[in-house]
Amino acid sequence: MTTDIFAPRFQDEDKAREHLEALRWPEGPFCPHCGSMNATRLEGKKHRKGLVQCNDCREQFTVTVGTLFERSKVPLHKWLLVNHLLCASKKGVSAHQIHRMIGVTYKTAWFMCHRIRESMNQPTGPLGGEPSRIVEADETWVGGSVQNRANKQAAPKKIVVTLVERGGHARSFHVANVHANTLRPLLFQHADRLSTLMTDQSASYTTAGRGFWQHKTVSHKFAEYARGQWHTNTAENFFSIFKRGVIGTYHHLSAAHLHRYCAEFDFRYNTRTDTDAERADQALRGIYGKRLTYRRPSSLAS
């Protein structure tokens, strides 16, 4: 499969639909209303391209019914191209750049990017799962800007906590603070307690650490970054990519949408051994059964 941006599925709406159909319906179309596989393609000029009719419940549908792309006026090949660009760019792509590159308005580009981030929200099972598996937890500050153009006030930085299993997956969260009461439920929900927990010496992790098989800490104060295997370098590496994306691409991240940027950076990290084409297809598998429910914000700063 060609993966450059001149591949047919990025240029031609029919080819894009065929690509989505092959991913979604490997055994042929099935009805999103009743689940029946007994469906007939409605061919001919009278019908919208890609329209299928269920022979059981008689409802009509296309491959985008029930997805984040449903009812979008943007042609499917542009959706696939934006999806590919976001999946293939380590530091992300800004809505401004999408706007300029693919010829949609800035607002449309902004909404497309957030829908694709939502499709990238594909949580896996708990991290770790046995004593030999090390889950690092650490926090960082992102996204503050000197001035917020809308109100001329300094935009505060936000805190992101990341749990990352060495050799495994990362999961990041926007948190209001790093108190033990905030971090403990996150750790218990997203990491298996049979794992080894690895953090810095912050007291915020102490009580949570008692719930794990063992809790190892490393002191950042004395530049003791690597005491053999007891380090949080995996989390630090994850943050360095996240921060380069924030600084180089997204600049100011609004608190309302930060969880979606977390999903974006987690997703690319978790699929880091995939090719760009595989990663893009994996993101497309996440468009089903999701709707964005947020209202259109007055400011589209991020």
Residues that bind Zn ion (CB under 5 A): 31, 33-34, 36, 54, 56-57
Q: Would you say 31 or 113 has its CB closer to Zn ion?
A: 31
Burial status of residue 117 (CB atoms within 10 A of its CB: 0-12, 13-18, 19 or more): buried
Q: Provide the minimum distance between the beta carbon of 35 and Zn ion in the complex, in angstroms, as a whole number.
A: 7
Q: Provide the minimum distance between the beta carbon of 119 and Zn ion in the complex, in angstroms, as a whole number.
A: 24
Rounded Cα gap, residues 80 and 74, in angstroms: 10
Rounded Cα gap, residues 135 and 185, in angstroms: 15
Q: Provide the minimum distance between the beta carbon of 23 and Zn ion in the complex, in angstroms, as a whole number.
A: 20
Q: Would you say 41 or 100 has its CB closer to Zn ion?
A: 41
Q: Provide the minimum distance between the beta carbon of 79 and Zn ion in the complex, in angstroms, as a whole number.
A: 25
Q: Would you say 54 or 208 has its CB closer to Zn ion?
A: 54
Q: Provide the minimum distance between the beta carbon of 37 and Zn ion in the complex, in angstroms, as a whole number.
A: 9
Q: Would you say 16 or 54 has its CB closer to Zn ion?
A: 54
Q: Provide the minimum distance between the beta carbon of 290 and Zn ion in the complex, in angstroms, as a whole number.
A: 21
Q: Provide the minimum distance between the beta carbon of 53 and Zn ion in the complex, in angstroms, as a whole number.
A: 9
Q: Would you say 34 or 226 has its CB closer to Zn ion?
A: 34
- Please answer whether residues 80 and 63 qualify as being in contact, where contact means their C-beta atoms are separated by less than 8 angstroms: no
Q: Would you say 32 or 143 has its CB closer to Zn ion?
A: 32
| SS3 at position 104 | coil
Q: Would you say 56 or 130 has its CB closer to Zn ion?
A: 56
Q: Would you say 24 or 91 has its CB closer to Zn ion?
A: 24
Give the strand order in the sheet containing 170-175: 170-175, 158-165, 134-142, 196-200, 214-218
Q: Provide the minimum distance between the beta carbon of 40 and Zn ion in the complex, in angstroms, as a whole number.
A: 11
Rounded Cα gap, residues 83 and 48, in angstroms: 24
- Please answer whether residues 118 and 70 qualify as being in contact, where contact means their C-beta atoms are separated by less than 8 angstroms: no
